[in-house]
Structure 1
Amino acid sequence: MAIADVAPAAAGARLVSAYAGPRHLARLLRHVADGLEGAGIANLPAPAGAAEPVWRRWLRHRADTKPTLWPNHRKAVATGLLDAGTSAVLELPTGAGKTTLSELKIAATLSAGRKVIFLVPTLALVDQLRRSSDNFPKSLANYEISADGDLVAFISGPEFGAIEVMTPERLLAVLSFADADVAELGLIVFDECHLLSPAGGGARSVDAMLCLLHALRRAPQADYLLLSAMLQNAPDVAEWLEQLSGRRCISFVDPWKPSRQARGVVIYAKNQLDWAHTTVRAANFAKRTDQPAHKPPLNLTPFALFGLNNAWARNAPQDRRIIRLSDGTVSLNYGVTGATPNSNEVGASFAACAARAGLKTIIFVNQADHAPTTAKKIKARVPAVGALNELENDLWQDIIAELGGAQHSLLDPTAPALPHNGDMISIERRMAESLFRRRDGASVIVATPTLAQGMNLPAEVAILAGTMRHDEDGREPLKDHEILNAAGRAGRAGHLANGTVLLIPEPPVSFRMDWTPTGEAFAMLEKVLPGSDQCVMIDDPLTTLLDRIQLGDVSSPDVRYFLSRLRAGEGEEADPDRPIQMMDRSFAAFQARKTGAEAAFDVKLVSLKSAFAADAQATEVSTLKIAVFSGMQLEPLTALASKIVAEIDMLPTTIIEWCNGWSIS
């Protein structure tokens, strides 16, 4: 019965409903009605070029699990990016649904009878995407997802499957063979495409850019979909692709995000941190002077500095909060010049607290071998999980069979905290993800920032244990995009609406007696909560190599590798000018033309052509053809040919002899 159906007891009297629930529900429904109108996926019109029956079958299948599109998806679809002949560069925040838009574009391509290559930055993501093949079930059409290891590229023949998932390095290897069949290729998706820039991909950016250049030359008929949350110059990249293809390329940038995050930095009271530094220096001085060293535990009370919005300002106290993280203390370490953050141990302590509170937590450590040890530390502080389900039992038996015993696995299937790193075989990672996704499964997963890219796990808390990592050159800071990628794992839309991120900085940072953070603390907060996630400018990594060739450096290993890879995949009748033409279509050439430096770039191309000519004169024709065909460097091929000629009567006759007793230095 409604209030309107009840007559007032007296003139001027007013009836008030005591049941607030129905009114509140009605207000919510009224608010969402406008948002849901047109959001359903089932009636999405078939894109240009797609076969209507196949498209409709896929939409019905998709609607069973994900029946709606978010506002940013609808805006992107309205641009026509799903149409055949349209490429796009999508810059959306982490967790804003880039994967959904890529799946729509893939479905449109498959519905048009064309094939798809999906490029991902890590082999772990290759495995993850292969396992998500139920998004494109074979019953809809004869779709087959291939995601085998790199060696398969050399033995599976030149024909691609309907959907191929691989790293950029593998695609470059495949395209190094002239007979790789790309005639039916309709779409190349490049996830985490900031890998194309030295700032985003480091040394891998050269292979990534060469991969894209070779793909653009070999498959000009294909559409390209580049995805990233980090690009600063997405419109420039889209303009370049449009010029190369002669077809439309959309730059779509939308800052909207469906989930909320609280991002903060672990911080200590300045008087406590100063005491810790003084204690460490006194102990170090005593050791240097052969005196007894007093080394008490460096137990400090942990706090967190949270920014309350992306536009926070240092001089605005209302934009931040300092909150105590624990009733207890955490222990810092003794370092060379002062106290160090003891990031893994402190992070493990926070992760255990979050797990005991029922919060799913990801902790990121900066060395792969730290993941299993940190998981063991957390395991001792959190109750064990329940029994395995049928899939997990099967996976565990497969792991035992593959490794030769449970004792050889990095996983403990009953543990509440599990590692997830590149040292694990794919079925170990798959089992860790399955256990973590279960509400009654593992509460904590310990991974490395490298695996943060594209990792879709339902975490409520993300802890970044440290801002430095070890590499072959010593220790270096994590890059901004690595920190933001890891931070984006907390609060994934479709799983959880909210998430909390904690960064443990190195060195430790502090706040003063008046609760004002130090400048170092603000700098660390800016790393995890910048005004924008757009932190990577795409610059062509090949520009530096061209500069070095122009200066006469044609013998260093990375330049030799570049020269070989640029000529790869040409076949026996190679056009000597084709690599030059390809570089003239590069992003470096586009940037030079846009800045008025075209004449200077042309001089670099002349130097590049001279380097190729010198190789041709100094190398036998047959050796050069093999290098061009395979992408291998000339030097080892020349040495191999010389040794074969010199030892032609004494060559090995068995595989073991070839492997053990015959090599080139």
Structure 2
Amino acid sequence: MLSADGIRSSHHAQLLKNERLLHESLFKRRDGIDALFATSTLTRGMNLPSDIVLIAGDSRWDVAGDRMKQLDAHELLNAAGRAGRAGEGGQGFVLIIPSKIININDAKNNIASHWMTLQGIFSQSDQCLKIDDPLMGLLDHIHFGMLEDNEEYLLAWLPVGEEDAPDEPAKAMIRRTFAAYRKRQANDVEWIESRAASAMQRRVDLAPKQELSWLERVAASSGLPYEIVASLKGLIETGAFSGKSTDCIQSLFCWIETRPEWLLQLIRPNDIEGLFGGQSRLRSVACRRSE
């Protein structure tokens, strides 16, 4: 619909799918549709971010009850939540025109009861979820010595710096986490420093005692257990990868056959399912040893 004020369109449940997708895509474009008038489908949480949302009425027709029905709180909040474009503007403007006229009696200093209904809806929480950083729990577990698979995996992924300051990159990363930000907001800087110190100490406890700092850096950067990296180093030193490409692949198969549990740490499960047709149990790779 083209008017003197710009281009407008509609959004309702009776649109064909291609029509609906066209209207939505044009509305999301800054150089597309200027305004979109919609039915209560907008209250289902459609992803149609707007600068301004005008809600004409806080009720809709209830077919089962054959009467107008007050919109539920989550429906109104969903419609109002379309105001504001994520990544472009954190704020939006919402104007609600009530279905019922709200009278104000200045003489008696009172207002119609329907106003209290709307006020009760919009005085509720804005439905935002409190987001926690999963690293917070992992760092707490490491601090108290409760090391399991996830905690050890985190320690393996922490970066390792140069020999003169091997712990600084890992400490800096922990201080930049969302968990550390939340603690700084709560004026609990001690938590950040204590968890960073505990993580460094636990990593030292898990690290091999021999001086193999470059292997530690490779393990940290790849997220692989140290024993796998060390085993691969030993395989390379035996000259297993010095021959033809087919011989190198065969040597690698022979190596993984000795420790098949390492396979799932080297290859993602989805990739393995794609290679083996989604079988629940992988067949062992045949290892032909040259005479």
Structure 2 length normalisation: TM-score? 0.42
Higher relative contact order (CA 8 A, sep 6+): 1
Structure 1 length normalisation: TM-score? 0.22
